[in-house]
DNA sequence: TGTTGTGAATCTCTTCACAGCT
DNA sequence: AGCTGTGAAGAGATTCACAACA
């Protein structure tokens, strides 16, 4: 079973998202051009991506939606479900708790942590909030693999240390800081300010 | 003045973020190796990036922090301030309204829109919430360049249409859908589900 | 000595072009 | 006629290696 680059994987997850909508609409076949229109990627890119996973298309007709979805999922989401722990139940954290994303059956937010005693013990959207100190125990018990950092940036490194200690192997970091973690822990940074500024630069460049 | 790739730009924004912290700490010089330790990028990468903007380092010493920051900002954030309009003031929208990101003086959230009559007229963190129908007028008046989509996915395309009509040139899309917009409008997708799943894949790949 | 700046080499990803199939 | 699958070409980004310099 080959490995796929991050870009290929991310695009494949978008294909899965599209395929779910197509299947809901009873569409049994889809061509690479259709998917291009739906996703914004090029048809060649899409064919190349899919060919990495296997030959499932039929010339003249396109790809069978269900089969293609199963194929992609089998490679990418082979195991069961991804278990996620949330750190920081402020405004952003609460928004994440209630986030109605796609593929809910594959993503389960299993526990949340905060240092504010008033929040501890509360249940938001079916998820109980624990004290930060309980994280190592709770994370192990709930088999969480990924943690989300939604705490103020002054505390993000300290929280990241706890996450590493708790055995989490991936971190989605919403704080505007670079975290220092052992290299076997993967970090995905989502810095809204950088998104805004980067997009703004792009727009300026197009004009000037 | 050359154009920079998105990757170079995004890294440069991280350098700026680091430089701000270093300047706060009274550090006047920083080497590419220091920045590598702080950002997680390689030192060579950093030197190459910086060299695209100009020669500002001195061999044996490193880069003067203030000068380097000014240099990068002059290229990337030349103009004044980026004005942002928020669409959808649910949980995620409210979290964004209160988001204390870096570089606040360069990013100004100027107005928010929602369709819920109970929210219209309210002020959250100094930003007034208007009816969606008022968006074209308000966006023009406030000179917003970028819009954020934080509405449920069923409504995201309709809201995107309004944003294009209002003259916004960039969209940060938090809904799990691919938007159909004219090609002169830049879209940045942030799909949390895809982030989680993609990160999970990466972790699985490392093990297996 | 230690660090920048950079051309060359390498690697990775995307696009092209078209054979092959239905 | 129309679409997939793919080798080859092309573009883009990163890493290497080292000259230049304080």
Query: Which residue, counting CA atoms, is nearest to the C1' of nucleotide C5?
Result: B51
To the question of pTM greater than 0.85 for the whole model, the response is: yes
Q: What is the pLDDT of residue B102?
A: 66
Q: What is the pLDDT of residue B190?
A: 97
Instruction: Quickly tell me which residue has 């917009």 as its tokens.
Output: B181
Element (H, E) at B37: helix B32-39
Q: Give the number of A-B residue pairs with CB atoms closer than 8 Å.
A: 177
pLDDT digits (tens, 9 = 90+) for B68-93: 999 999 999 877 799 999 999 999 99
pLDDT digits (tens, 9 = 90+) for B106-157: 999 999 999 999 999 999 999 999 999 999 999 999 999 999 999 999 999 9
A170-173 and A186-189 strand pairing: parallel
Q: What is the pLDDT of residue B79?
A: 75
Report d(CA A176, CA B102) in Å as an integer: 7
Give the confidence band of B2 by pLDDT, cuts at 50, 70, 90.
low
Please give the share of chain A, as a percent, with pLDDT higher than 90.
91
Which segments of chain A have a pLDDT < 70? 1-2, 102-103, 208
Asked if strand D contacts A2 at the CB level, meaning under 7 A, the answer is no
- Between chains, do B145 and A76 touch, taking CB under 8 Å as contact? no
Q: What is the pLDDT of residue A206?
A: 84
Q: What is the pLDDT of residue A103?
A: 67
Q: How far is the CA of A201 from the C1' of D13 (A)?
A: 20
Residue B78 · residue B52 · CB < 8 Å: no
Helices H / strands E in chain A, number of each: 8, 9
Q: What is the pLDDT of residue A16?
A: 97
Query: Which residue, counting CA atoms, is nearest to the C1' of nucleotide D14?
Result: B45
Mutate to test the interface with B, among A30, A197, A202 (most CBs of B within 10 A): A197
Q: Which of residues 129-148 of B touch strand D (CB under 7 A)?
A: none
Residues 6+ apart with CB under 8 A from A109: A84, A85, A86, A96, A97, A125, A127
Least Cα distance to B194 among A146, A126, A198, A208 occurs for A146
Q: How far is the CA of A124 from the C1' of D14 (A)?
A: 44
Order across the sheet with A123-124: list the strands.
A123-124, A127-131, A107-114, A82-87, A146-149, A170-173, A186-189
Q: What is the pLDDT of residue B181?
A: 98
Give the confidence band of B103 by pLDDT, cuts at 50, 70, 90.
low
Q: What is the pLDDT of residue A104?
A: 73
With a cut of 70, say whether residue B94 has pLDDT above it.
yes
Q: Is the dihedral of CA B41, B43, B45, B46 positive or negative?
A: positive
- Nearest chain A residue to B109 by CA: give it: A196
């Amino acid at each position: 079973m080959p490995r796929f680059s991050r870009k290929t994987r991310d695009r494949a997850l978008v294909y899965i998202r599209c395929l779910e909508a197509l299947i809901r609409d009873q569409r049994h076949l889809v061509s690479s051009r259709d998917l291009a229109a739906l996703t914004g990627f090029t048809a060649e890119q899409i064919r190349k991506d899919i060919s990495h996973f296997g030959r499932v298309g039929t010339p003249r007709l396109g790809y069978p939606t269900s089969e293609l979805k199963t194929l992609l999922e089998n490679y990418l989401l082979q195991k069961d479900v991804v278990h996620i722990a949330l750190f920081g139940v402020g405004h952003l954290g609460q928004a994440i708790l209630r986030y109605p994303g796609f593929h809910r059956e594959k993503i389960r937010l299993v526990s949340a942590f905060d240092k504010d005693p008033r929040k501890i013990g509360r249940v938001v959207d079916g998820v109980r909030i624990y004290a930060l100190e309980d994280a190592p125990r709770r994370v192990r018990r709930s088999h969480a693999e990924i943690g989300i950092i939604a705490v103020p940036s002054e505390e993000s490194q300290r929280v990241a240390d706890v996450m590493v200690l708790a055995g989490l192997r991936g971190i989605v970091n919403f704080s505007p800081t670079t975290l220092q973690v052992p290299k076997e822990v993967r970090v995905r940074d989502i810095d809204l300010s950088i998104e805004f500024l980067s997009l703004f630069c792009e727009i300026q460049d197009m004009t000037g």
